[in-house]
Amino acid sequence: MISKTGNSNRQNIKQAWNKFVLSGKIEEGIVRHAIIESWIRCHRSEVNYLAGHEQDLLSSEEIQGLIKEKKQLIYIAKPIMKTLFKCVQGSSFIVVLVNKDGIVLESIGDPDVLEMSKTINFLPGANWSEEYVGTNAIGTALVLNSPIQVAGPEHYCSKHHAWTCSAAPIHDAAGNVIGCLDMSGLIERNHSNDLGMVVAAVRAIENQLHKQETQEKLFAAHKHLTTVLSTISEGIISIDKNAMITHVNSALAKIICMPPSDIVGKDIHHILGDCHRIYKVLETGESCLEEEIVVNLPKQQIHCTSKAAPIKDEFMQVVGAVITLREIKQVHQIVNKMAATQARFQFKDIIGESNIIQEVIKRAKIAAQSLSTVLLLGESGTGKEVFAQAIHNGSERREGPFIAVNCAAMPRELIQSELFGYCDGAFTGAKRGGRPGKFELADGGTLLLDEIGDMPLDMQVNLLRVLQEKTVIRVGGDKPTPVDVRVIAATNKNLSIEVEKGTFRKDLFYRLNVVSIGIPPLRERKGDISLLVEYFLKKMSLKLGKEIPKIDSLVTDILNSYYWPGNIRELENVLEYAINMIDDNIIKEESLPVYLKKEELRIESEDNIMSLAVLECNAIIKAMKKYNGNITKVAQALGIARNTLYEKIKKYQIKN
């Protein structure tokens, strides 16, 4: 702090000032060093030593802009300025607040002094920096970044010699100058305590600024943390060392269907039930790994995964814990996305313009709007899974998972654990912590049970129970887990025949056969083969990095007349083979598989004669279609025994 001048040497200072402004010479030992340096700066800046630079006040709009910019400083400083003024009120004083550039923002003072201040432009909007009005407490304090008192002739401009001014710069938390506080009065008054009071007032302003800045940072941090927590999909609970809940995020409140106000303040066991592992975290300070728990609520059970981590103070003492909860349903959704278990095909992706396929698409679109179980019937390779995906994507469950299970491809001993999941330690080799089954993974979506006709009879009982009760019990467990799954079953077998043979349960058949959709074989889709050929040639050419080939007319005839027992899948494979075999970008007869050229495999037409075997096969297929697979009626219509019919169905590999 730079000391203030006394009254004893004021006359000497006046003489030194006269000598300096007239000759530029300095009287050593009479004038304070800080004042001399200020005079020199003013002289170099050519400040008028009589009245300073002529200056106009800022416009009211400019003043309002500065006030708005320093709104927080003014808000905090005003009450302190009033307190400071009360200490000198009635003694002809004025208290002034300026910004870091020396422009007056606010002033409080005795009426007589306020009136006198107008004569020297000591008003809001005036610039009181050194370069404008010469040496003065405000401008010099800002230059020196230190409190200072300037009395009488120490002012560079003679117009200000009647005043004694005391000022101190105001700093923010980082130490940057953001303004200055000044208290000025007529020189005849006692000013011995002025600078000390100004410095104390500035310290009060700075403390309040720092306090408010800290509060704003804390509020911003709290707001930021709250926003982050509210965007997290996991439920988060914080507890203190006594296991009392101190905070929950919105996701947690949503999971357990309770407002935060009903949760905070309760013991954690009131929400989660058995919490011995969480209590152990508070005791040992060791985190609890993720585990599955069931939260028992008054009206329902919520199946979740949970984990807990301790909160420690600076002395590494446990002062609480953070628990995260995630619904199993949400975990399964993440698993499904990672496993790409999403339906890709929509109805627009199904290729075909024939009347028969368009009618099937129409029925499937209607089925998509329902929640009923769908049974897709069709030979292998007809596109049953494509239809299943299209039905899923056309339904209200399109945002949910689509899980496809091939019942014929799973080992018999693993079917139950694959479909229904298993608990920790359910059997040798079981994954620690257990594993959800396909039904749980499909929760909220669709489960395709492909080749349902090949499911073992003993497993059909368990499947029927799940379809009826809409809950699953994991292998090795006893707690039922609710599942919301739409089932689409698909088979290339005639389930009516399988029921008669005793290989498929009648009650399960009726449970599945709610909305039955038959997908026609390729040989019955007149005109669709050319569309499919065009599509697959583009697809295969892109896959193999080749130009899209042309097709010889003879090849077109062969493809259109072939029986296609493997249906669309076989057509795709044939075209991929042909593209690999060509060398001149034209698919010719020699590019096709050898078996495709056999006439006995052609469809009956007016121009070709078919073998007895093909005729017999066609006759059986037509009769099966006419009588909906009723073996007794088909055998009677063909004039053969039921056993003979079974043998021929097996011989010709007739399915559905």
What per-residue confidence (pLDDT) applies to 583? 80
Which residue numbers in the chain have pLDDT < 50?
Answer: 1-5, 338, 340, 600, 605-609
Q: In what order do the strands lie in the sheet with 104-109?
A: 104-109, 93-99, 177-186, 163-171, 148-151
Query: Is residue 146 assigned to a domain?
Result: yes
Indicate if 365 and 329 belong to the same structural domain.
Answer: no
Q: What is the CATH number of the domain that holds 617?
A: 1.10.10.60
Indicate if 140 and 208 belong to the same structural domain.
Answer: yes
**Which of 271, 302, 335 is a domain's end point?**
335
Query: Is residue 227 assigned to a domain?
Result: no
Please state, as a whole number, how many other Cβ atoms lie within 10 Å of the Cβ of residue 58. 17
Query: Is residue 151 assigned to a domain?
Result: yes
Q: What is the CATH number of the domain that holds 240?
A: 3.30.450.20
Helix (H) or strand (E) holding 327: strand 318-327
Number of H helices, E strands in the chain: 25, 19
Indicate if 317 and 366 belong to the same structural domain.
Answer: no
pLDDT in tens, 179-219: 999 999 999 888 889 999 999 999 999 999 999 888 888 88
What per-residue confidence (pLDDT) applies to 295? 75
User: How far is the CA of 55 from the CAs of 63, 64, 150, 414, 649, in angstroms?
Assistant: 15, 19, 21, 94, 111
Q: Which amino acid is at 389?
A: Q
* DSSP per-residue letters across 526-579: TTHHHHHHHHHHHHHHHHHT-PPPEE-HHHHHHHHHB--TTHHHHHHHHHHHHH
pLDDT in tens, 268-288: 887 777 778 888 888 898 888
Distance CA 532, CA 650 (A): 29
**Which of 289, 304, 335 is a domain's end point?**
335
Indicate if 150 and 288 belong to the same structural domain.
Answer: no
Query: Is residue 562 assigned to a domain?
Result: no
What per-residue confidence (pLDDT) applies to 377? 94
> What is the domain count for the chain?
4
**Which of 270, 305, 335 is a domain's end point?**
335
Indicate if 311 and 344 belong to the same structural domain.
Answer: no
Q: Using DSSP, state whether 20 is helix, strand or coil.
A: helix
The radius of gyration of the chain's CA atoms, rounded to the nearest angstrom, is 46
Query: Is residue 556 assigned to a domain?
Result: no
Indicate if 238 and 205 belong to the same structural domain.
Answer: no
Indicate if 296 and 423 belong to the same structural domain.
Answer: no
Indicate if 55 and 132 belong to the same structural domain.
Answer: yes
**Residue in 248, 308, 247 with CA at minimum distance from that of residue 283:** 308
Distance CA 92, CA 98 (A): 20
User: How far is the CA of 122 from the CAs of 4, 127, 165, in angstroms?
Assistant: 21, 9, 12
Query: Is residue 135 assigned to a domain?
Result: yes
- Residues constituting the chain: 656
Containing structural domain, residue 636: 611-656
Q: Give the list of residues 6+ apart from residue 2 with CB closer than 8 angstroms, or none.
A: 32, 34, 144, 146, 147, 148, 149
Query: Is residue 153 assigned to a domain?
Result: yes
Phi first, then psi, for residue 394 (nearest 5°) are -95, 0
Query: Is residue 276 assigned to a domain?
Result: yes
What per-residue confidence (pLDDT) applies to 271? 76
Q: Using DSSP, state whether 458 is helix, strand or coil.
A: helix
Indicate if 204 and 261 belong to the same structural domain.
Answer: no
Q: Is the pTM of this model over 0.75?
A: no
Indicate if 322 and 347 belong to the same structural domain.
Answer: no
pLDDT in tens, 579-637: 988 888 899 988 888 878 665 455 554 444 455 666 778 788 888 888 888 888 888 88
Indicate if 135 and 239 belong to the same structural domain.
Answer: no
Q: What is the CATH number of the domain that holds 500?
A: 3.40.50.300
DSSP class of residue 5 equals P
User: How far is the CA of 236 from the CAs of 50, 311, 413, in angstroms?
Assistant: 71, 14, 40
Torsion sign across C-alpha atoms 94, 100, 103, 106: negative
Indicate if 328 and 401 belong to the same structural domain.
Answer: no
